[in-house]
Amino acid sequence: MDLLTEDVVPESARDVKQEAREFAAEHIEPVAAEYYESGDYPWEVLEAGMDAGLVAQDVSEEYGGRGFSLEEVLAIAEEFYRADAGIALTLQLASFGAAILEEYGEEGQKEEFLRPVGENDQISGLAVSEPETGSDLAGMQTRAEKEGDEWVLNGEKYWIGNGVEADWVTLYARTGDDEDNRYGNFSLFVVPTDIDGYEAEHIPEKMGFRASKQAHVELNDARIPEDHLIGTEGTGFYMLADFFNHGRVVVGGHGLGLAAAAIEEAYDFVHGRQAFGRDVSEFQKVQHVLADMRTEFEAARSLNWRAAEKVESDDRAGFWAAQAKVKSTETATMCAERGMQLHGGRSVLTENRISRVYRDVRIPVIYEGANEIQRNLIYGQW
Ligand SMILES: Cc1cc2nc3c(=O)[nH]c(=O)nc-3n(C[C@H](O)[C@H](O)[C@H](O)COP(=O)(O)OP(=O)(O)OC[C@H]3O[C@@H](n4cnc5c(N)ncnc54)[C@H](O)[C@@H]3O)c2cc1C
């Protein structure tokens, strides 16, 4: 069964989609269950992904990457997340935040930090969320104070993908306190993770996305040179909002990959399981459940690919990106829930792929802005 068909994918993204599919079959699917159980960081798969040219996908060729368009990154996401969400997130986050540096950074910063990521010599991360604040981007408390020719960072970040493993992170910090201009109080910085005052440790074990690692980061008088500021002081919120429009279309792809996995598993299970002397797939009620899953999936996928086009052409990007994220990630939760029910008691065996998918789908409805916030954005940009 091929649910991730080519028809909605533009011609320009089809070659890379095929590369991603082959890579996932060879390097992700065979080890997905093992990494899920151990919760280890999948270094080997990451290195294979780098060798295959499928990591740091979004960095331009000028800085050593492949310069993938949003559509190409989305095509890869669908294939990778179908194979395993935790490993997929690790591969995707190896260049997380680097696109911001590419868009707004200065030449020297790009040579020093972006190029090593594009060339797969380093990995990056994006540090926005905090222990006490996640959804309210204008409520973050980590502070950057200018002292002479340095910025001094103090505060805490939480949930930071690769916060331990990364060579540097793009860090979002408060640089002002103007109550009349809440969104103008933040800036973005390149923060190398080996500086004094940057301490990171892994957060506790998660129930889903087990092969990805997030960190609790503490910043205690961590000093960076003044030229590590990205773009203009006070514009961090806006740079991030633009970055998230791209990210949310791709997170929609996380949902689509997971939904495809749930549908495949459910369909296979009911074709072969017997009850009341019949194949379970012969019950009309069961067929209707599968029909609903498939219909929701196709609707989400059409919307998501339409949103990719809208974001790429900067046509009401925020409105479309938020819809794609809500619809695709919630389709994944719906398909996983129904898929579990169709598996009967076997649904709860942790070795079964459906139970892995069921736990994973809880996460994309939260990260890159919880779906409640996406609904605020959709209504707000009506
Ligand atoms: C696996 C994983 C990886 C992550 N990776 C990263 C990363 O690499 N970098 C990073 O910076 N962050 C990362 N995050 C953090 C993620 O972005 C936040 O968890 C998310 O933004 C939600 O913030 P929160 O958890 O603090 O929830 P809160 O903001 O505390 O929200 C709690 C609940 O309140 C609801 N709520 C809040 N405000 C409103 C409102 N205005 N209207 C209606 N409901 C509301 C929310 O929807 C949610 O249901 C990651 C999270 C996870 C789980």
Fold classified for 124-234: Butyryl-CoA Dehydrogenase, subunit A; domain 2 (2.40.110)
What's the whole-model pTM score?
0.97
Residue type for position 36: Y
Burial class (CB in 10 A: 0-12, 13-18, 19+), 379: exposed
Q: Which atom of ligand 1 is nearest to the CA of 128?
A: 11
Q: What is the spatial distance between Cα 48 and Cα 103, in angstroms, rounded to a whole number?
A: 27
Whether the Cβ atoms of residue 171 and residue 157 lie closer than 8 Å to each other: yes
pLDDT at site 57? 81
How far does the centroid of ligand 1 lie from the alpha carbon of residue 135, in Å? 5
Is the CATH number of domain 238-380 2.40.50.140?
Answer: no
Sign, CA dihedral 262-268-272-277, equals positive
170-204 burial, b at 16+ Cβ within 10 Å, e below that, comes to bbbbbbeeeeeeeebbbbbbbbbbeeeebbbeebe
367 lines ligand 1 (CB under 6 A): yes
Q: What is the spatial distance between Cα 338 and Cα 262, in angstroms, rounded to a whole number?
A: 9
Residues of the chain with pLDDT under 50: none
Q: Are strands 150-161 and 143-147 parallel, antiparallel or unpaired?
A: antiparallel
Our CA dihedral for 354, 357, 361, 367, rounded to 10 degrees, sits at 170
* Distance set, CA 294 to CA 24, 78, 311, 367 (Å): 22, 16, 26, 25
134 lines ligand 1 (CB under 6 A): yes
172 lines ligand 1 (CB under 6 A): no
Q: Name the DSSP letter for residue 135.
A: S
Q: What is the spatial distance between Cα 148 and Cα 54, in angstroms, rounded to a whole number?
A: 41
Q: Are strands 168-174 and 124-127 parallel, antiparallel or unpaired?
A: parallel
Name the CATH code of domain 11-104 (choices 3.30.70.890, 3.90.1300.10, 1.10.540.10, 3.40.640.10).
1.10.540.10
Nearest CA to ligand 1 atom 38: 135
Q: Which atom of ligand 1 is nearest to the CA of 208?
A: 1
Q: Which atom of ligand 1 is nearest to the CA of 136?
A: 29
Closest to 212 measured CA to CA, from 142, 128, 121, 123: 123
* Distance set, CA 315 to CA 58, 308, 311, 320 (Å): 20, 10, 6, 9
Q: What is the spatial distance between Cα 265 and Cα 269, in angstroms, rounded to a whole number?
A: 6
Q: What is the spatial distance between Cα 159 and Cα 248, in angstroms, rounded to a whole number?
A: 17
208 lines ligand 1 (CB under 6 A): no
Count of H-run helices and E-run strands, the chain: 13, 10
Closest to 27 measured CA to CA, from 15, 17, 19, 16: 19
**Catalytic site residues?**
368
| Domain locations along the chain | 11-104, 124-234, 238-380
How far does the centroid of ligand 1 lie from the alpha carbon of residue 129, in Å? 8
135 lines ligand 1 (CB under 6 A): yes
375 lines ligand 1 (CB under 6 A): no
Q: Which atom of ligand 1 is nearest to the CA of 162?
A: 8
Q: Name the DSSP letter for residue 304.
A: H
